[in-house]
Amino acid sequence: MGPPECRTINPGGSHRVVITKELPGERWLALLTTAGCRIDICASPEPLPSDHIRALLDGGCVAAIGQLTETWDEQTLTALKDAGGAVYANYAVGYDNVDIAAATRLSLPVGTTPGVLTETTAELAVALTFAAARRIAEGDKFMRDGRYTGWLPALLLGRLLWHGTLGIIGAGRIGMAYARMLVEGHKMDVVYHDPARNKALEEYVADYSRFLQEHGRKPVHCRRADSVEEVLRQADVVSLHAVLTESTRHLIDGPRLALMKDDAILINSSRGPLVDEAALVEHCRSHAQFRAGLDVYEDEPALQPGLADLPNVVIVPHLGSATGWTRKAMATLAAANVVAVLNHWPVWGAADVRSFLTDPAPKAAPSIVNAADLGLPGCPATARPA
């Protein structure tokens, strides 16, 4: 089998970098060409099977920028290394598609793109929350089917979020941004479960609550729950923001769904396998008042049979980071990771990566997930903006 067709930018460049999909924006191309790279971009819009990726790498390359829809396992990472690869950059903040332990054994740094999709993904989770709570997809279909004959007191009643209880499972950056949006906008109380306490979130809600009280308004509260079960029992809306690992696979299964309120809302904009999708279909079938808003699927892009027939489920195609600004910024960070490793620059080590989006970009790698295990140097704090 020959390699999939590629479009080449800067054919005279001395280091070949393989890009497995067209990426938006220009800045990422400028970063790579300025660093003397020849860029081979695979033209196929389909998710690439591993043997196609390996065929692309064959012939030599110093780096690859790949997608979350691809499996970067030991065999493919070894092919990258054997081709002369010095770094793999994932065009995503998540990296469950990459065998990090194998990359580390092969001394391959693995780059990711955090910091530019936090609010973007949180906004999508908010959009799903409202779509589920207020039955937006059902209403849209109702109109298009020509069934609207006039306003009725009980037509498509949804649920009010105002001062309800928000459950967050995984209170990292995206979970926290989502919580803040619903606390500020809809005065929801937060109950979260995360292995680590999120002091910043708790303090933020406490400060906001003081502000509300000073203005004669009802306070809001935030507390960490000891267990996932406690969140599921108490929350009106539960949003999943945990990373996918072997221990979080099917974090939400049949018995746990059964703990949720009959009219609760479950949102997943993280990774599909966090939810046992067959159990979710069963649960939504037998609980007409329960609603789910899904951006990700257990066996993406396939859907569990029956899921798309359920009126109480809103489904969108993995759009969490899908804004033009974010997708361009992700491409910039992926290219910056490649350029930095090729130049032996240190690792940024700060959450704020905005300075990579304008010139002059820092001489650093925005995010290398196995940096510590590889002993890569970090940027001195003095080299970063305060």
Site of interaction with ligand DGY (CB under 6 A): 68, 92-94, 117, 320-321
Please report how the helices 118-133 and 173-186 are oriented relative to each other, as an axis angle in degrees rounded to 10: 50
Closer to ligand DGY by CB, 190 or 329: give it: 329
Distance, CA of 136 to CA of 308 (rounded, Å): 15
Catalytic site residue 5? Answer: no
Q: What is the smallest separation between the CB atom of 71 and ligand DGY, expressed in angstroms? A: 15
Cβ atoms within 10 Å, residue 49: 13
Q: Toward ligand DGY, which CB reaches closer, 90 or 165? A: 90
Q: Residue 112 Cβ, how far from ligand DGY at the closest point, in Å?
A: 8
Least distance from C-beta 172 to ligand DGY, angstroms? 12
Which letter, b or e, does each residue of 212-234 get, where b requires 16 or more Cβ atoms within 10 Å of its Cβ? beeeeeeebebebbeebebbbbb
Compare residues 90 and 209 and give the one whose CB is closer to ligand DGY.
90
Whole-angstrom distance, CA of residue 303 vs CA of residue 272:
10
Are 103 and 376 a contacting pair, CB within 8 Å? Answer: no
Give the shortest CB-98-to-ligand DGY separation in angstroms.
Answer: 11
Q: Toward ligand DGY, which CB reaches closer, 94 or 362?
A: 94
β-pairing verdict for 87-90 and 63-66: parallel
| Nearer Cβ to ligand DGY (94/346) | 94
Q: Which is nearer to ligand DGY, 168 or 190 (CB)?
A: 168
Q: Is 271 a catalytic residue?
A: yes
Residue of 302, 301, 293, 252 whose CA lies nearest to 273 = 252
Least distance to ligand DGY, CB of residue 92, Å? 3
Task: Identify the active-site residue in 123, 138, 230, 300.
Answer: 300
- Residue 214 designated active-site: no
Q: Outline where 187-322 has alpha helix (H).
A: 199-214, 228-234, 254-257, 277-286
Q: How far apart are the first and last CA of the chain?
A: 51
Distance CA 221, CA 167 (A): 12
Query: Are 376 and 368 in contact, with CB atoms under 8 Å apart?
Result: yes
Helix 118-133 and helix 136-144, axial crossing angle in degrees, nearest 10:
60
Q: Give the angle subtended at the CA of 312 by the CAs of 309 and 316, to the nearest 5°.
A: 70
Parallel, antiparallel or unpaired: strands 37-42 and 6-9: antiparallel
Catalytic residue among 15, 38, 256, 318, which?
A: 318
Cβ atoms of 267 and 293 closer than 8 Å: yes
Active-site pick, 135, 224, 271, 327? 271
Q: Measured from the CB atom, is 164 or 170 closer to ligand DGY? A: 170
Alpha carbon of residue 215 to chain centroid: 36
Minimum distance of ligand DGY from residue 93's CB (angstroms): 4
The least CB distance from residue 356 to ligand DGY, in Å, is 16
Catalytically annotated residues = 271, 300, 318
